[in-house]
Amino acid sequence: MALCDRIIGNGVGAKAVVAITGLMLTGFVMAHLSGNLLVFAGPEAFNKYAAGLKSLGGILWVARLGLLGIFILHLGLAIRLNLENKAARPQKYVNEATMEATFASRYMVQTGLLLFAFIIYHLAHYTFRVASDDVNAVPAEDVYGMVIAGFSNPIVSGFYVLAMAALAMHLKHGVSSAFQSLGIYHPNLNVVTQKLGPIIAAIVFVGFASIPVSVLMGCIK
């Protein structure tokens, strides 16, 4: 179909799909973060929230499959675009300068792939419970206990914090860039859209990293 070809088949269209799916994933990340911060409200509140999610049953699976679809679209198209970009300059500059491109913008694929590795590990760690004996020793209903058990290991916590740094970098460029990809550019809006990436990146990093760090420092137990 022509419309499908114009959107998926073309760089400008595919970039818009990467932008929309990226913003949807960002929305998920923000929702996930606000749920997770309930660990600071104590075991009861957190476990009640987790049980509430699980009781959604069928709806939860629809949401999970939807998220997986969005994720595959995002990652698949982003990688295809990146391969096209690499092929577009077979001979590198001997002396290459960077005038405007930010560090975050130049390592989107690397931070993205690190996120991919993290997501696999994260699901194995807490969702499928196949990565850590400490976590598996806690009953599946006690999600709070799983979090404490998992993050008591400094290496595990370190990897989580590193992954959140990658996520923050990805979003610092990605969120602001998504608006440009979607053609949203206006002097009145740019003040917001250009700062949104860095702001969301900071919230996501501080918010998520605070949990393993608090466990390690014994602030929550």
Partner 1 sequence: MDLTLHVWRQKNSKSDGHMEIVEAKDVSEHSSFLEMLDVVNENLLGQGKEPIAFDHDCREGICGACSLVINGEPHGPEYGTTTCQLHMRSFKSGQHVYIEPWRARALPVLKDLIVDRTSFDRIQQAGGFVSSNTGSPQDANALPIPKPDADKAFDAAVCIGCGACAAACKNASPMLFVAAKVSQLAILPQGKPERERRVLAMVDQMKKEGFGNCTNQYECEAACPKEISVEHIARMNREYFRAAILEEPEKQGHGGD
* Residue 28 region by backbone torsions, left for phi larger than 0, else alpha for psi between -120 and 50, else beta: alpha
Rounded Cα distance between 178 and 18, Å, is 8
Rounded Cα distance between 201 and 95, Å, is 32
Choose the one of ligand HEM, partner 1, none that binds residue 183, judging by a C-beta under 5 to 8 angstroms depending on kind: partner 1
Among 55, 92, 188, 218, indicate the residue that binds partner 1 (CB under 8 A): 92
Rounded Cα distance between 15 and 171, Å, is 15
Eight-class DSSP state of 107: T
Q: Is 181 in the site for partner 1 (CB under 8 A)?
A: yes
Q: Which residue has the tokens 């969301």?
A: 200
Rounded Cα distance between 26 and 15, Å, is 16
Residue from 102, 117, 119 nearest 172 by CA: 102
Site string for ligand HEM, 26-65 (x = CB under 6 A): x--x------------------------------------
Q: Is 138 in the site for ligand HEM (CB under 6 A)?
A: no
Choose the one of partner 1, ligand HEM, none that binds residue 114, judging by a C-beta under 5 to 8 angstroms depending on kind: none
Cβ proximity to ligand HEM, 146 vs 201, nearer residue: 201
Q: Is 135 in the site for ligand HEM (CB under 6 A)?
A: no
Choose the one of ligand HEM, partner 1, none that binds residue 75, judging by a C-beta under 5 to 8 angstroms depending on kind: ligand HEM
- Yes or no: say if 74 and 28 are a contact pair by the CB < 8 Å rule: no
Q: Is 108 in the site for ligand HEM (CB under 6 A)?
A: yes
Q: Is 192 in the site for partner 1 (CB under 8 A)?
A: no
Q: Quote the tokens at residue 98.
A: 């960077």
SS3 at position 213:
helix
Rounded Cα distance between 137 and 149, Å, is 9
Summarize as ranges the residues that interact with partner 1 (CB under 8 A).
2-3, 6-7, 10-16, 81, 84-102, 105-106, 108, 173, 176-177, 180-185
Summarize as ranges the residues that interact with ligand HEM (CB under 6 A).
15, 18-19, 22-23, 25-26, 29, 74-75, 78, 82, 105, 108-109, 112-113, 115-116, 170, 174-175, 177-178, 181
